[in-house]
Amino acid sequence: MPFINDVLTFKSLSIVGLEKNTGKTETLNYILGRLKNMDTRIALTSIGIDGESTDIVTNTKKPEIRIYPGMIYISAEQHYLQKRIISEILDVSKIHTALGRLVIAKAINSDKVLLSGPADTQNLKALISDMEKFNVDLTIVDGALSRLSLASPAITEGMILTTGAAYSANIPVLVRKTKYVYDLINLPEVEPELKQKLDCVESGIIAIDTDNNLHDLNIKSVFMLKEAKDRAFSFGTRLFVAGATSNYLFEFLRMQKNVDTIELVVKDFSRIFATPEVYYSFIKKGGKVKVVNQTKLAAVCINPISPQGYNLSSDELKESMQEALQIPVYDVKKI
């Protein structure tokens, strides 16, 4: 069973799409269908709302989420009361959403469900942690839109990336865009000693000297780096930015005379918001990027069909994507 064994190595897994309608729900249903007869206790939730039969943005039909007996699912009160599935309430969370408290229930039979989980990553992380008391082996989070922050190692241990014609109807462009995200996901991790120190840093811009000592630069924003350039590099050419990194930061670093010695460290790949052109320009000039926590990628899945009516060749897309990424790529509807 393709990539299912990889999925089972995690305690929590996010399924994240690069765009709506790139096959998240099909991938989720494939995983659930493969796991239903295994001795694995599954919990399932979403960030936002997922599992509706019609996409509220594109007004097109979409696959619904089907779960099986013994699986645990989490949804807000309003949607839980609309359920068709027979289930047993295990708990009612203290976490509130716009649709009421979160209901944690166990499926008695097999049917379709509508998921509406926490709207923010902090509560999602807490909810995943709470699943331990129900002896859950794997918690799966179905993403909403392109919330790549779900794939942060701070939220889930592993991720599946879905991409497809809805992201771009041109195969070379689609492959190029996906390859960029794949490259970010696979950025190398810093050495263990430095990782331990930076794990505790939640804000600011930090200089890292040659002995891996940290120096707070007291620079409140990356937009102030230009005015504080001398101070920024007074301890060497390694910088850690705890928050988001944009084109501005990469352009600033790329313009430095010693760019080939500069190493930028970020918390994880989801903090990088630079465009591919700007990011790769920095890399081509010799700049380096590392992460404190690397995301573990279980699989890349493709959806060759878009709601706009584009229908790409699944085989051609799969072959092109595999050649670019150098890993297996899956169209779950053809497995």
**Is residue 137 within 8 Å of residue 44, measured between CB atoms?**
no
Maximum alpha-carbon separation in the chain? 65
In tens digits, the chain (335 residues) has pLDDT values of 689 999 999 999 999 999 988 999 999 999 999 999 999 999 999 886 654 444 544 455 557 899 999 999 999 999 999 888 999 999 999 988 889 999 999 999 999 998 988 888 889 999 999 999 999 999 999 875 555 777 788 899 999 999 999 999 999 999 999 999 999 999 999 999 999 999 999 999 999 999 999 999 998 888 888 888 888 899 999 999 999 999 999 999 999 999 999 999 999 999 999 999 999 999 999 999 999 999 999 999 999 999 888 899 999 999 999 999 999 999 999 98
CATH placement of domain 192-291? 3.40.140
Q: Which CATH number fits domain 4-185+295-334: 1.10.3470, 3.40.50, 1.10.3860, 3.20.20?
A: 3.40.50
- Residue 146 confidence (pLDDT): 53
- Beta-bridge partner residues of 238: 208, 263
Total length of the chain: 335
What's the pTM value of the predicted model, to 2 decimals? 0.91
**Is residue 259 within 8 Å of residue 286, measured between CB atoms?**
yes
- Residue 121 confidence (pLDDT): 85
Instruction: Name the residue ranges covered by the structural domains of the chain.
Output: 4-185+295-334, 192-291
**Token output for 26:** 């099909």
**Token output for 178:** 């996906």
- Residue 53 confidence (pLDDT): 47
User: What element of type H or E holds 265?
Assistant: strand 263-266
- Beta-bridge partner residues of 164: 303
